Amino acid sequence: MPEGDEPPNQPTQLRDAEIAPERRPLAEVLERLPSQPGVYLMKDRRGKMLYIGKAANLRNRVRQYFQPASGDTRDFVPLLESVVADIETVVTSNEKEALLLENTLIKRHQPRFNVKLTDDKNFLSLRLDPRVEWPRLEIVRRMADDGAWYFGPYHSASACREALRVVNRHFRLRTCTNHVLHHRSRPCLQCQINRCLGPCCVPVSPDDYAEQVRDVRLFLEGKNDELLAGLRARMQEAARQTQFERAGVVRDQIHALETVLQSQRVVSAAPLDQDVIGFHREGMAIEVAVMSVRQGKMIGSRAFSFARQEFPDAEVLSSFLGLHYDLSPLPPEEVLLPFAIVDADLKAEWLSEKRGKKVQILVPARGPRHDLVELARKNAAASFASRRNARDDAQASLGRLQRRLGLAKLPRVIECYDISHIQGAETVGSLVVFVDGQPEKSRYRTYKIRQAESPDDFACMYEVLSRRFRRARESAESDAALDTWRLPDLLVVDGGKGQLGVALAAARDTGIDLRPGTGLPIIALAKERDSTAPVPPRTDAADAKPAAGRPAEQHPDRVFLPQAKDAIPIRANSAEMFVLQRLRDEAHRFAVTFHRSQRKKRTLQSELSRVPGIGPTRQRDLLRHFGSLKKVREASLEELLAVPGITPKTASAVYDYCNVVVHHKRSSQ
């Protein structure tokens, strides 16, 4: 439906309400809300739109926004009671009408709190009207419900014009306007080079021209197998009727199209029409990619970029689908999503009516469909990386983090610490450093815990931080390596309130200034558990689930500050939480990697420890020299003697032991 047009069933009272909204107390408005399906419009005191939404039951849905225990974590919800002055409602016959009306009103009013996505008015499409005399293919910027065939919209203007060029080159439709068609007296150049049938001046069979129109439609819809099969049948029929010149023209057309179609990438073995949605998010910046697959071949990919969005991922994706397909051409057979959305059933029903056939909205869990969604995700990530300004994004995110934590200065340098072990064995600590929001890997450090091995994370964290703080104090006193060991602008420990207390104790015991405003700010980031929603029923597709049902719910991480009794709330999709989560995940990855390397080294050294006269130092020397236990076993006596620190007696002991081990393994095989 074009922007600005009203749905056929739109009530007239909507226009009256928009012109002269009543000023009533909000409590009275909530009491008088209807219980039917429809659309609600929240306005501020000046009458401007704040938020537009749909509901199966307007009374229940709208009242949820103003209940203290609603559980709604969206950014704007706590503000509604103070900024909303009036709520208008439009009752519809069913939820489907509410969905269509919601899309129309969001595009018209661009409310402050709604997800705003770029519509298709800046993208080109191809239009072919089969009802006119001698149809022609033309480029348009808007699609209308006028009975014509629309193809696209294309992800770029160059892709649209390339498709038009291929059609004009290999199909013989007219390219001239209606005025030129009716006023030309002799054939044009296109007709003379056999790229147009020339209906302006040459007698042309309407059936032959209609065949070309059908072929163009098959080509632009991606039904290439059907197109080539029809052309081959047409060529053979012309040859049987001894119309060899006509058969030769069709043969050349087949060869040219086969060359063009070879460049299209096959991404799916199934001959399906699919739209694959890729989703990439970094804090409040989101990129959504739509990969168009027709008959198993990818014909294009478009990306939508928008920033400053703190809405949940499922709500962003649901709004995107409504706005995207409201102006798009007929939807495909399948729409593949990266995760579930709440109103998938309603949107699938709407898309099915728009297509005239069943449309499935699926969330692939594995198999070829899942691979397509992963490919679309990579496209979204690549588009995000090419568009964004990393420096500006980092400055904005760090600024929000500074305000949320109440820091005295911008946290340009942030350190994060984590502990890794398996039941107290091979306990290690990690330190990662981010500068201006990006990893500074040259300043990463690892720590081997020196205390007795035990699964006491608090004691391990205290040891790591104490060693770090002593280095900072010693460097400051001696002016040695000052830049390397200077304290950061913010220190983060992975854990809860207990880990925060340990970090503060380590700082006090080593003489680190912790005064608010001048000292070192320390916080803790604790990860909450996920509560997964019931798994929806399986579909006939072996690798996909229906996208219906409430998506899995994830509780937000908790941030603890020294001066706060309880954790402070930071929204899961905010820019500041994204910075902290990325920092914490990198510290965890670095700690686990070092722990695994230590565990592997210990496993190797445990076998060498069985050799008489070999202690930890010589075990380490042998492994450093040869690189692996396998090479130590395969080494000759002369090679063992070449290792620094290895005496002839030690070399003989190692050689004899390894030969016995190798001989025993070979005999057992």
76 and 19 assigned to the same domain: yes
Residue 178 lies in a domain: yes
Q: What is the 8-class DSSP label of residue 645?
A: T
- Segment 417-429 shows an average pLDDT of 80
Residue 4 lies in a domain: no
- How far is it, in rounded angstroms, from Cα 213 to Cα 174? 10
- How far is it, in rounded angstroms, from Cα 416 to Cα 419? 11
- Segment 260-278 shows an average pLDDT of 68
What's the whole-model pTM score? 0.50
Residue 79 lies in a domain: yes
Q: Is the pLDDT of residue 657 over 70?
A: yes
* Residue that finishes a domain, picked among 266, 282, 298: 266
210 within 8 A of 171, measured Cβ to Cβ: no
Residue 597 lies in a domain: no
Q: Give the residue, 427 or 478, on which the prediction is more confident.
A: 427
447 within 8 A of 590, measured Cβ to Cβ: no
413 and 513 assigned to the same domain: yes
| Residue-level pLDDT at 342 | 83
Cα-based distances in Å from 19 to 40, 110, 557: 16, 17, 44
Q: Give the residue, 462 or 533, on which the prediction is more confident.
A: 462
108 within 8 A of 48, measured Cβ to Cβ: no
Q: Which of 176, 219, 179 is nearest to 198 (CA)?
A: 176
- CATH number where 303 lies: 3.30.420.10
539 and 576 assigned to the same domain: yes
Q: What angle do CA 481, 485, 489 make, to 5 degrees?
A: 135
| Residue-level pLDDT at 534 | 42
* Residue that finishes a domain, picked among 388, 417, 442: 388
Q: Which residue shows structure tokens 């929603």?
A: 533
Task: List beta partners, residue 362.
Answer: 336, 546
- Segment 290-297 shows an average pLDDT of 78
Residue 576 lies in a domain: yes
- How far is it, in rounded angstroms, from Cα 125 to Cα 109? 25
- How far is it, in rounded angstroms, from Cα 623 to Cα 640? 11
3-class SS shares of the chain: helix, strand, coil, % to 5 = 45, 20, 35
- How far is it, in rounded angstroms, from Cα 39 to Cα 104? 11
Burial class (CB in 10 A: 0-12, 13-18, 19+), 477: exposed
Predicted confidence band of residue 423 (pLDDT cuts 50, 70, 90) = low
* Residue that finishes a domain, picked among 70, 95, 114: 114
| Residue-level pLDDT at 231 | 83
Q: Is the pLDDT of residue 264 over 60?
A: no
Predicted confidence band of residue 506 (pLDDT cuts 50, 70, 90) = very high
243 and 193 assigned to the same domain: yes
Please give the single-letter amino acid code of residue 570. I
414 and 558 assigned to the same domain: yes
- CATH number where 588 lies: 3.30.420.340
- How far is it, in rounded angstroms, from Cα 56 to Cα 145? 28
Range of the domain at 407: 395-592
- Segment 450-474 shows an average pLDDT of 83
225 within 8 A of 294, measured Cβ to Cβ: no
452 and 570 assigned to the same domain: yes
Element (DSSP H or E) covering residue 305: strand 297-306
Which residues lie closer than 8 Å to 337 by C-beta, 6 or more apart?
A: 277, 317, 344, 361, 362, 363, 373, 547
Residue 568 lies in a domain: yes
Predicted confidence band of residue 433 (pLDDT cuts 50, 70, 90) = very high
- CATH number where 662 lies: 1.10.150.20
**pLDDT tens-digit profile of 196-217?**
888 888 888 888 888 888 888 8
Q: What is the 8-class DSSP label of residue 136?
A: B
Q: Is the pLDDT of residue 284 over 80?
A: no
Q: Give the residue, 156 or 562, on which the prediction is more confident.
A: 562
- How far is it, in rounded angstroms, from Cα 516 to Cα 127? 65
Q: Provide the 10 A C-beta neighbour count for residue 465.
A: 28
Q: Is the pLDDT of residue 20 over 50?
A: no
- CATH number where 81 lies: 3.40.1440.10
378 and 402 assigned to the same domain: no
534 and 564 assigned to the same domain: yes
Q: Is the pLDDT of residue 319 over 90?
A: no
Q: Which of 276-290, 305-319, 350-364, 647-661 has the lowest mean pLDDT?
A: 305-319
| Residue-level pLDDT at 119 | 46
Q: Is the pLDDT of residue 225 over 80?
A: no
Number of domains in the chain: 5
For every residue of 513-526, DSSP letters joined together read: ---TTTS--EEEEE
258 and 290 assigned to the same domain: no
- How far is it, in rounded angstroms, from Cα 513 to Cα 507? 8
User: How far from chain centre, in Å, is Cα 610?
Assistant: 52
Predicted confidence band of residue 391 (pLDDT cuts 50, 70, 90) = low
| Residue-level pLDDT at 414 | 93
509 within 8 A of 545, measured Cβ to Cβ: no
Cα-based distances in Å from 603 to 249, 294, 628, 662: 74, 53, 11, 18
- How far is it, in rounded angstroms, from Cα 291 to Cα 152? 12
**pLDDT tens-digit profile of 556-577?**
678 999 888 888 877 776 778 8
259 and 280 assigned to the same domain: no
413 and 538 assigned to the same domain: yes
- How far is it, in rounded angstroms, from Cα 566 to Cα 222? 58
| Residue-level pLDDT at 383 | 78
Q: Give the residue, 123 or 313, on which the prediction is more confident.
A: 313
Predicted confidence band of residue 483 (pLDDT cuts 50, 70, 90) = low
Q: Give the residue, 104 or 329, on which the prediction is more confident.
A: 104
Main-chain dihedrals φ then ψ at residue 364, nearest 5 degrees? -65, 135
Which residues lie closer than 8 Å to 528 by C-beta, 6 or more apart?
A: 554, 555, 556, 557, 558
Residue 286 lies in a domain: yes
- How far is it, in rounded angstroms, from Cα 659 to Cα 637? 11
For every residue of 67-91, DSSP letters joined together read: -TT-----TTGGGHHHH--EEEEEE
135 and 191 assigned to the same domain: yes
Q: Are strands 490-494 and 522-526 parallel, antiparallel or unpaired?
A: parallel
Q: What is the 8-class DSSP label of residue 619?
A: H
Residue 598 lies in a domain: no
| Residue-level pLDDT at 544 | 62
Q: Give the residue, 594 or 122, on which the prediction is more confident.
A: 594
